[in-house]
Structure 1
Amino acid sequence: MSDSHTMPVDNSAAKPPAMVVSARPVVLAAPGRGEELQVSVSAPATGSDLPVIVFSHGFGHSMNDYAPLANFWAAQGFVVLRPTHLDSRTLGLPADDPRTPRIWRFRIEDLTRVLDGLDVLEASVPGLGGRLDRSRIAVAGHSWGAQTASTLLGARVLDSVGVPGEDMSDPRIKAGVLLALTGLGDELTPFAVENFSFMRPSFDHMTAPALIVAGDHDQSALSTRGPDWFTDPYTYSPGSKSLLTLFGAEHSLGGINGYEAAATTDESPARVALIQRLTSAYLRSALNPGDLSWKAAATALEEDPAPLGQLQSK
């Protein structure tokens, strides 16, 4: 694989970080997509029965982004798979490309294709073969990527008269982390109504366990509501959900999309470190019944004399 490398990751966490190995691009055939699907694979260099996280990037990003999350999760024992969706700036699709109206569907299909291609992805990293635990798979995403990921957890898109569309949930997915996931579509701006018909979700059937992360300063140009819009996925979904509200966080949540990324308007290494710790602890516990990592992390946040955020659960 090109760009295959081994690197140490120095992050504080609940357990000592492992060395991470990664490979990109790993290419999956994608008939009907018009572009082969490129995926980045990051994994701990050692260990067996490794849980898997499939991550969906935000608008315009690619498999090269979100290193603060991918590196950390891999160092904590997860195999992290990051596909590049068709809206990525690295692909340069023009706005009038005939695929554009269906990119939201292509995105969902990309995640399913990653799950279907685990054999190929596993074989792409030397020494990774036979080390994945396919009974412990989670999905995660940021912004549009969170919307994409949410459909695999059971969220559905409403049609023009409010009828929920098809169920695109995937039984292979056991839990999720949804970062800055947009809310209900009843108060979209005229621009969003005209251009993003898929932004009319129903969370009524999003039954899989999930951690939803929202910033209390995240003011979207796509909704006439304020930052509380990003709490809708928690409010309107069934139980087995937790909501982490980050104080002072805007849409990049402190910089999860990349180190020193230009898109980060609210840079906060401390906030990113909190997201790293809490999401890792949540997924360990969600994918391992009886694991107390999430309980310990939630308790630590509650007892912090100067917390960066607050948690709710149901």
Structure 2
Amino acid sequence: MDNVLTRNNTEPVVSVGPVVLAVPGRAVALQLRISFPLAGGDLPIILLSHGQGRSNNLSSMNGYGPLVQAWAAQGFVVIQPTHLSSRTLQLDPATPGAPLFWRSRAEDMRLILDQLGTIEAAVPALAGRLDPSRVAVAGHSMGGHTAGLLLGAQLLDEEGAQVSLAEPRIRAGVLLAAPGDGGGSLSAYATENLAFFRHPSFAEMTTPALVVVGDHDVSTHLTTRGAAWHADPYYLSAGSKSLLTIVGGEHGLGGISGYDAAETTDEHPARVALVAQLTGAYLRTALDPDDGSWPLASQALQAHVPSLGYIESK
């Protein structure tokens, strides 16, 4: 396989956490993990929103090591919040917004951007090294829903009001195994219990994004349409988009949420490496059009390992 897809992540990186931001009105303070390369300046930023898996710690700032390590080694500063939905917080189920806190998740990301100066002050090794003009968001599963809202997707809330949480400071995104359309696409469970899933609109999601799906990600607890449901954010959105389909990939896309995670149903290290390298390449080019990483990685995938995945764009 071409080294653009399998390059070893040997660049030394630093991970600092928890970095704690006091947030008036939030049920608890916002805890962050910040990961970044030892060297370099003008570093682009990825805000990473965790999913809502069965384990306790993967759905927090402590998860997604395979992606975070790779992205930081590729020159990104990765900022991971622990959303209020994380089991690590053990919040009262009666807390407003529980259990998934869909609105608070997006607000966490906005607050991080508002507080980049505070974050730099808390992590002196980052001082003067961030490039706030190059910010991306990425999210897995429920985190993909969060990322979609920040990229412009809209929904009807529990009271039937149209909600837009688009964040103009975010210039690109990656949606990993994210939710798709509502209505008849939803399972009975999702229709009854997840009202914010019922009426999404991707038409307003115009910010450039890469949608990553596994062709075996059936997610029967959420949808009746099988793996195709997760590609809706690509097909139903406007603007520049790409779709990466991982052959054989299930909801964990080979294990992106953690090393040797018990909840991964399709453990496949090469699949994880592919997702990490291609998503990093996409974001480097999306944030800097003069960077040719994405077309090179796309060509390498087609030429050397088409059995692992394929890409289409619009």
**3-state secondary structure, aligned to 2:162:** coil
* Amino acid paired to 2:120: E
Please tell me whether the aligned partners of residues 180 and 233 of structure 2 are also in contact (alpha carbons under 8 angstroms): yes
Which whole-Å CA distance do the structure 1 matches of 2:229 and 2:194 have between them?
Answer: 16
What is aligned with 1:70? 68
Distance across 2 between alignment mates of 1:135 and 1:33: 27
Q: 1:127 to 1:51 in 2, by over 3 A?
A: same
The secondary structure found in structure 2 opposite 1:193 is helix
Contact 1:15 1:76 in 2 (8 A): no
Q: Does 1:171 align with 2:168?
A: yes
Structure 1 contact 17–76 (Cα < 8 Å) conserved: no
Question: Which residue of 105, 108, 124 corresponds with 2:106?
Answer: 108
User: 2:56 — aligned with what?
Assistant: none
Q: Which amino acid aligns with 2:69?
A: N
How far 1:285 sits from its partner (Å)? Answer: 0.4
Q: Which residue of 1 aligns with 2:156?
A: 158
The answer for the alignment partner of 1:219 in structure 2 is 218
Relative to structure 1, is the Cα distance of residues 178 and 123 closer, same or farther in structure 2, using a 3 angstrom cutoff?
A: same
Question: What's the counterpart of residue 255 of structure 2?
Answer: 255
1:66-105 correspondence runs (5 A): 66-100=64-98, 103-105=101-103
Distance in 1 (CA, whole Å) between partners of 2:239 and 2:294 is 17
- Offset, 1:121: 1.5
Query: What secondary structure sits across from 1:32 in the alignment?
Result: coil
- Classify the secondary structure of the residue corresponding to 1:41: strand
User: How much has 1:102 moved relative to structure 2?
Assistant: 7.2
Whether 2:177 is the aligned partner of 1:184: answer no
Tell me, in whole angstroms, the C-alpha distance in 2 between the residues paired with 1:204 and 1:12.
32
Question: Contact 2:37–2:75 (CA<8 Å) still a contact in 1?
Answer: yes
Q: Hey, what does 1:7 align to over in structure 2?
A: none
Which structure has the higher relative contact order (CA within 8 Å, separation 6+)?
Answer: 2
Instruction: Give distance in 1, aligned partners of 2:164 and 2:5.
Output: 39
Three-state SS of the structure 1 residue aligned to 2:267 is coil
Of all paired residues, the percent bearing the same amino acid is: 56
C-alpha contact 1:136 1:287 (8 A) present in aligned 2: yes
Asked whether 1:240 is paired with 2:236, we answer: no
Between the aligned partners of 1:255 and 1:24, the Cα distance in structure 2 is 22
Alignment of 1:274-289 (within 5 A): 274-289=274-289
Residue in 1 that maps onto 2:207: 208
Show structure 2 runs of 5+ residues with no match: 54-58
* Structure-1-length-normalised TM-score: 0.92
User: How far apart are the structure 2 equivalents of 1:148 and 1:71?
Assistant: 22
Which stretch of the first structure deviates more once superposed, 304-313 or 33-42? 304-313
1:12-31, aligned counterparts within 5 Å? 17-31=10-24
Q: Alpha-carbon deviation of 1:125?
A: 2.4
**Offset at residue 191 of structure 1 (A):** 1.5
Q: CA deviation at 1:197?
A: 1.1
Report the Cα distance in structure 2 between the residues aligned to 1:71 and 1:233, rounded to whole angstroms. 26
Contact 1:50 1:78 in 2 (8 A): yes
Query: Does the residue aligned with 2:27 lie in a helix, a strand or coil?
Result: coil
In the alignment, which residue of structure 2 is the partner of 1:312? 312
TM-score by length of 2: 0.92
Higher helix share: 2
Contact kept, 8 Å, 2:253 with 2:272, in 1: the verdict is yes
User: Partners of 1:159 and 1:104 in 2: how far apart?
Assistant: 10
Q: Is 1:49 equivalent to 2:49 in the alignment?
A: no
Correspondences of 1:254-273 after superposition (within 5 Å): 254-273=254-273
AA of the residue aligned to 2:209? A
Say if 2:93 and 2:99, in contact at 8 Å, map to a contact too: no
Q: Which moved more, 1:209-218 or 1:86-95?
A: 86-95
Cα deviation for residue 123 of structure 1 reads 2.3
Q: Which amino acid aligns with 2:40?
A: G
Contact (CA 8 Å) 2:9, 2:70: kept in 1 or not? no
